[in-house]
Amino acid sequence: MTILKELNDIFIDVFENEDIVLTVSTSAADLEEWDSLNHIHLIVSIEKHFNIRFTSKEIQSWKNVGEMVDSINKKIAV
């Protein structure tokens, strides 16, 4: 499974919406459920799933799903 696919499953789980299909350019503006409150749940779920830890700076720098994938890849490679 690619990182994107794993992320997609996490999104579906956190937002409780089976219709979500992520692309690298998907951003918060594209998903109604993706607001500041759900964002935290998302981050916690992602960190738990991949067993990684982001810094605040990294989290605040993401502009879209693609950048999240890049961050995850960097963490896993370490």
Point out which residues bind other proteins (CB under 8 A).
15-16, 32-40, 43-44, 56, 59-61
Minimum distance from CB of 62 to other proteins (Å)? 11
DSSP 8-state assignment for residue 54: -
Joined tokens for residue 69: 């994938």
Instruction: In angstroms, give the least distance from the CB of 2 to other proteins.
Output: 25
Alpha carbon distance 31, 54 (integer Å): 22
C-alpha atoms less than 13 angstroms from C-alpha of 13 in its C-beta half-sphere: 13
Q: Closer to other proteins at the Cβ: 1 or 62?
A: 62
- Pick between residue 1 and residue 35 the one whose CB is nearest to other proteins: 35
